[in-house]
Amino acid sequence: MVDLHQGSESEAAADPLIDRPFRDPDALVLAGVTRSYSQGKTRLEVLRGVDLVVSPGEIVGLVGPSGAGKSTLLHVAGLLERPDEGSVYVGGSDTTGLDDGRRTALRRSAIGFVYQFHHLLPEFTALENVVLPQLIAGLDKTEAKRRAAELLAFLGLGERAMHRPGELSGGEQQRVAIARAVANAPRILLADEPTGNLDPDTAEHVFAMLLKLAHGTGLAALIATHNLDFAARMDRRVTLREGRIVEL
């Protein structure tokens, strides 16, 4: 099994919140989270008191129609947006009072993101795309290459590591994006329609790899999807109704 532990000397390492041992039973907790946006003179309330817990090794499917607030929820959970009210806990620590620099450092070290579109850097190989976030986090180049190669091999891309994105299929590109998302050994994986841009057969393969990786490494995963068949294979399913989480 691929090992997601690393010993980076990143800027986050000196921060006790970011570098603390990850022993809390709940990797991600949203408590009473609200989020709204202004549209002209009106206020659009998207999240209206969201409560959600995702534990290590648990894969939670987030389903619901477009416009229900799934992406907003992922953005708040991933510290990309601040809630208007409520708290987001990562590994038992409340992130509410963190300034932007510490939020960025924590996001870089603790949270991995996978989107519908892979957003790989086209001028770099698959291996280099997975190495780069590790170098940014301060990992030694030799170790970063070793970890990247290990991740790509785990995802069935060992022989494609030196190919650029334009030389890879859509499913291969998305698997590289998954490897990149977990390259820095995050505690939490957030995915927004990770198979939505793939044909059914390719989507099945990518989804199976994603489940295998999350379960095998103990990641806490929250995956938004329109695919109800995929959602049914996750550990738990939730949806957003009138801005609140409802268990399915």
Check if the beta carbon of residue 147 is closer than 8 Å to that of residue 141: no
Residue with token string 């990850």: 22
Q: Is residue 97 part of a domain?
A: no
Residue 239 has pLDDT above 80, yes or no: yes
Q: Name the token pair of 133.
A: 């976030």
pTM, two decimals, is: 0.85
CATH of residue 150: 3.40.50.300
pLDDT at residue 240 is higher than 50? yes
Q: What is the DSSP letter of 140?
A: -
- Digit-coded pLDDT (tens) for 126-156: 999 999 999 988 999 999 999 999 999 988 9
In a domain, 224, yes or no: yes
Quick check: is 32 in a domain? Answer: no
Q: Is residue 236 part of a domain?
A: yes
Structural domain harbouring 208: 57-84+104-247
Give the E-state strand segments of the chain in sequence order.
28-39, 42-54, 59-63, 85-90, 93-94, 111-114, 188-192, 220-224, 236-241, 244-247
Look at residue 92 and tell me if it is in a domain.
Answer: no
CB atoms within 10 A of CB 31: 17
Mean per-residue pLDDT, 47-72: 93
Collapsing DSSP to helix, strand or coil, 218 comes out as coil
pLDDT range class, residue 112, cuts 50, 70, 90:
very high
Count of structural domains within the chain: 1
CA pair distance 35, 59, nearest whole angstrom:
24
Strand partners, 240: 245
Would you state the pLDDT for residue 50? 96
Instruction: Please report whether residue 133 resides in a domain.
Output: yes
What mean pLDDT do residues 40-62 have? 93
Could you write out the DSSP letters of every residue in 68-131? SSHHHHHHHHTTSS--SEEEEEETTEE-TT--HHHHHHHHHHHEEEE-SS----TTS-HHHHHH
pLDDT (average), residues 183-203? 90
pLDDT band at 14 (very low <50, low <70, confident <90, very high): very low
- Residue 230: inside a domain: yes
Asked if the structure places residue 222 within a domain, the reply is yes
